[in-house]
Amino acid sequence: MTHPGIGAWPSTRRTRTPDKTALIFGDASYTYREFADAADRIAAVLATKGIGKGDAVAYIGENSPAFLQTLFGVAQLGAVFVPINTRLAPPEVAHVLTDSGARAVIYDPELHDKIAPGVESGGIPHVIPTGDGDDDEPGLRRLMTRPTGGHVDVPVAPEDPAAILYTSGTTGRAKGAVLTHANLTWVSLNCVIDYDLVSSDVALLISPLFHAAALGMGALPLVLKGGTIVLEKGFDPGRALALVQQHRITMLSGVPTTYQLMADHPDWAGTDLSSLNRLTCGGSAVPTRILDVYEERGLSFTQGYGMTETSPGHTALPADRTRDKQGSVGLPHFFSAVRIADENGDVVPRGTVGEIEARGPNVFPGYLNLPDANEAAFTEDGWFRTGDMGYLDADGYLFIADRLKDMVISGGENIYPAEVENHLFDIEGVTGAAVIGVPDPRWGEVPWAILTVQEGVEVTTDQVRAHLDGRIARYKIPKNVVVVDDLPRTASGKVRKADLRARFGAGAEVAHPTGTAIPWQTETIRTAPAKRRRGRPRE
């Protein structure tokens, strides 16, 4: 293979299947010839601005053809695509822009205020809106109409970076996971093999492309195989059902909340779902009630496990094993491997809980400019330490036991408690903070903040929300804040979050120090006298 990079995929498809529909977005559709031509024009636009091999190009915007066209245009130049979560707050966006060293940012004009601080602080030379723009700042759409020098295809090596996806870290600082051309190629091949993708597949993509799952396990495998992508800007259950019927969708991906909302919609019973033959679900296990509803319509789920660092898919549970292996996230993908290790790094027997370690060509090489984190993330023999706990059964199927990193997954979004806690400590009077995930029937989990405060201090709901709003994405803001006298701690001073999850679990009545019972569903903060503390608790 003379050019293993993903940037070559659209042009190869243009040669092989030029008139096949590649992408449908609203009322517009694009053949593979048109799709590849657009990627060529974007590559030309960036090249005239001096963007070349190894340069980072950030993109922030909702799902649209421009997102995917930019990805491939950037890849053609050997440059590095940096998608940014549109739900991040301006300071979080600024960190991504500066940490990645972005030399250009392409953005949805509606998100200008999100990028402004980062553009200013990072001194980014090229800032391009996705639309027409104006004479002073021509937009991408206008720039793409200018003459180009033809197809650009800069050779890359498999190990060269193709994208950097930022994932919140346990320390509160977002880390840039570097995904290579090989990583994205192999995860796509894994999907083609284990999900039996064919060129006649029509996939409905309703999840944000800035997430690794929609990108690495949705869009890229479909382009590789030559299928058709029906792309939506966002998710609406009624519209999703209508699109399934209209376009004869064969594949649909989502999180449990996605499928629950569709099944609860009034149009569920009357929608023709006969074209669907593959439903994939991630984020958390599919609840039995959802399995039952979909099986009544002859539909089964493929579930899996992975993370940004594995590009992201690493295991898959076949649909025909959904019931007899219920609760499992399946077997490693065809070109992937899993093992379970104890605290000493020794591999444990099957059935024994330990840390899940992953290996394969889909596993990333490391985080951007974080050598200490990279050293801690990999074992001496090259396995990635996921930080998740699990076990393998007698047949080699993986079961998740717990999350070592205490990550909360709410509606498919990853929330790292340390990031939220760092901001909670900045509220005057807060002496202790712990963020946990509490089960929620709609979102799977929602974040709660458990606080201790100085004696005589009152912390209000408005104060907490106002403090966090604008500093972190809104989905990370705790849905409930409870004040307690003490946080349970280990001998070394670490908060025992398992104890907090047990106390404030689903359906629990919170025993407040004043004697007031707080239903877990409430979003009203309660305050009470607490023992005076000095400084922050040890972490």
Q: What is the dihedral of CA 413, 418, 424, 426, to 10 degrees?
A: -130
pLDDT of residue 171: 54
Q: Computed over its alpha carbons, how large is the radius of gyration of the chain?
A: 24
- Whether residue 419 is contained in a domain is answered as yes
* Token pair listed for 213: 């799952």
Position 505 pLDDT exceeds 90: no
- Whether residue 495 is contained in a domain is answered as yes
Q: What residues make up the domain containing 445?
A: 408-519
Q: 277-323 pLDDT, tens per residue?
A: 999 998 777 878 889 999 999 999 999 999 999 999 999 999 999 99
- Whether residue 466 is contained in a domain is answered as yes
Secondary structure, 3-state, 61-124:
CCCCHHHHHHHHHHHHCCCEEEECCCCCCHHHHHHHHHHHCCCEEEECHHHHHHHHHHHHHHCC
- Whether residue 123 is contained in a domain is answered as no
Rounded CA-CA distance 385/404 in Å is: 11
Q: Name the residue among 247, 246, 244, 270 with its Cα closest to residue 258.
A: 244
Q: 164-175 pLDDT, tens per residue?
A: 999 865 556 789
Average pLDDT, the chain: 88
Beta bridge partners of 167: 175
**Phi and psi, residue 384, nearest 5°:** -85, 130
pLDDT of residue 51: 97
**Phi and psi, residue 25, nearest 5°:** -140, 105
Q: Name the residue among 256, 330, 242, 325 with its Cα closest to residue 294.
A: 256
Rounded CA-CA distance 530/539 in Å is: 20
pLDDT of residue 169: 56
pLDDT confidence tier of residue 448, bands split at 50, 70 and 90: very high
pLDDT of residue 529: 33
Q: 60-109 pLDDT, tens per residue?
A: 999 999 999 999 999 999 999 999 999 999 999 999 999 999 999 999 99
Percent of the chain with pLDDT over 70: 90
User: CA geometry: angle at 488 spanning 486 and 494, to 5°?
Assistant: 115
What total number of domains does the chain contain?
Answer: 1
Position 46 pLDDT exceeds 60: yes
Specify the CATH number for the domain of residue 485: 3.30.300.30
pLDDT confidence tier of residue 367, bands split at 50, 70 and 90: very high
- Answer with the residue of higher pLDDT: 332 or 288: 332
Rounded CA-CA distance 496/498 in Å is: 5
pLDDT of residue 537: 31
- Whether residue 433 is contained in a domain is answered as yes
Rounded CA-CA distance 378/310 in Å is: 13
pLDDT of residue 530: 32
End-to-end CA gap in the chain: 49
Beta bridge partners of 438: 446
Rounded CA-CA distance 21/201 in Å is: 11
- Whether residue 506 is contained in a domain is answered as yes
Q: 468-503 pLDDT, tens per residue?
A: 999 999 999 999 899 988 888 765 467 888 889 888
pLDDT confidence tier of residue 151, bands split at 50, 70 and 90: confident
Position 44 pLDDT exceeds 50: yes
pLDDT of residue 214: 95
Q: 380-432 pLDDT, tens per residue?
A: 999 999 999 999 999 999 998 866 668 888 988 888 787 888 788 888 888 88
Query: Angle of helix 32-48 relative to helix 65-76, nearest 10 degrees?
Result: 60
Rounded CA-CA distance 32/229 in Å is: 11
In terms of DSSP bridges, do strands 126-129 and 104-107 run parallel, antiparallel, or are they unpaired? parallel
Position 515 pLDDT exceeds 70: no
Rounded CA-CA distance 502/498 in Å is: 6
- Whether residue 446 is contained in a domain is answered as yes
Answer for the pair 536, 471: CB distance below 8 angstroms, yes or no: no
Beta bridge partners of 356: 340
With a CB cutoff of 8 Å and minimum separation 6, the contacts of 107 are 59, 60, 61, 114, 115, 127, 128, 129, 130
- Whether residue 339 is contained in a domain is answered as no
Rounded CA-CA distance 377/353 in Å is: 19
Position 507 pLDDT exceeds 60: no
The whole-number average pLDDT for the span 44-71 is 97
